[in-house]
Amino acid sequence: MRFYLYTLIFITFEYLSTQGAVLNKQNVKDDVSYDERLRSYARSKRYIGLQKQYKINRRYQECVAPGDVPGHCKHAPYCEMNVLGVSKGSLNYLCVISDMHIGVCCPDDILVSKLTGSRILLDLPAGGLDYDDDEQISSTSGCGITSETKLNITSNNPHKPREWPWLAAIYKQGAQLPFCGGALITDQHILTAAHCVHDMKNIVMRVRLGEYDFQKIGETRARDFGVKAISEHKEYDPTTYMNDIAIITLDQQTSFDTYVWPICLPPLNKSYVNETVIVAGWGQQNYAGPVSPVLMEVAVPVWDHEKCVDSFTQRITENNICAAAYEGGKDSCLGDSGGPLLYKLNNGRWTTIGIVSWGIGCGNKEQPGIYTRVDKYIPWIVGQTIGEDLISLPQ
């Protein structure tokens, strides 16, 4: 969702209105009418990731784990079984990480190895730079991978059903279309915008993963989840949309497949000026136009920060990132709030560098969409997902 600026008699104020589908998305059904309820939501900001130094949940060298099963060396807090308490010879399962830390040999697939009190845990949340540039991308390992290897990001089109498997649709129970989007970052956490969930009750919200076309049942292996908890940034300001970031905890863990997969967190302090990024969602295709039942995408450039600041009277901070076509017409819009701003790293993995937050209209020339810059919130993101474990992470 995204906000718009309105002028009233004697009063000028910012009205942050929700934004919907990405502008200029095509093939929307003519009989899909615009839902007026979307006007009460704002376009959400994007999501960021972890830098290499955190090494959250990363697997290191191969080893033989308890039960003589394949494993990898990991920091002990991120192994879902108590390796040191498995047997009398538990010291045999210690390993050295980067010549600096002592880790444990954690089974790669704990459920398959039938070890008690454990579950499968991928290396998430993960940073996009946790993977080397020359590392061959596996279709079954790590964040930010997609089964659609050849992506056309030069035009505004509907994407393929398995192209963006981390896109989450947030909707009200009983509604036919979502009011916000989000990005899957672990098997139970969705990164979204604070304005999407502000003052909302968990019970009325649902999250759908793996969806593509809301009008076609069974087209994908879409799954619906309830909401266990909502973590809104404590310094979120609903009047200015500063710190517009939140995390939704699902009521149960999801499994991963070609339709549902987590996105990587971005590196810290990287410049994306003039880089091509992707925004996707089910929102409006143009201002006050119909929302799209089909997930749409558009490629846009990232703006120079000072140029963005000069384009608005509203406050734009270093915690924001700006993106849209310079000539106008390509932008996120009402209903796209909370969705990710996607960027492909040199190692081939996709990361979310922003969260759709607000804008003035949709696709206006010289007024880009405003996104929450995710890398500015990494400590907060970690704290809301695996915060207690982070305390014991070796430095």
Enumerate the active-site residues.
195, 244, 337
SS3 90: helix
The amino acid sitting at 9 is I
Distance CA 335, CA 42 (A): 7
Q: What is the CA radius of gyration of the chain?
A: 21
What's the Cα-to-Cα distance from 122 to each of 30, 133, 340, rounded to whole Å?
A: 42, 20, 21
* Burial category of 348 from C-beta neighbours within 10 Å (exposed 0-12, middle 13-18, buried 19 and up): middle
* Residue labelled with tokens 């579950």: 119
The amino acid sitting at 37 is R
Q: What are 269's two structure tokens?
A: 């302090």
* Burial category of 109 from C-beta neighbours within 10 Å (exposed 0-12, middle 13-18, buried 19 and up): middle
The string of DSSP letters for 56-89 reads TT---SEEEETTTEEEEEE-GGG-SS-GGGSSTT
Helix (H) or strand (E) holding 381: helix 378-390
Q: How crowded is residue 67: how many other Cβ atoms within 10 Å of its Cβ?
A: 14
Q: What are 89's two structure tokens?
A: 């010879």
Q: What are 134's two structure tokens?
A: 């020359």
Q: 218, 200, 204: which is closest to 171 by C-alpha? A: 204
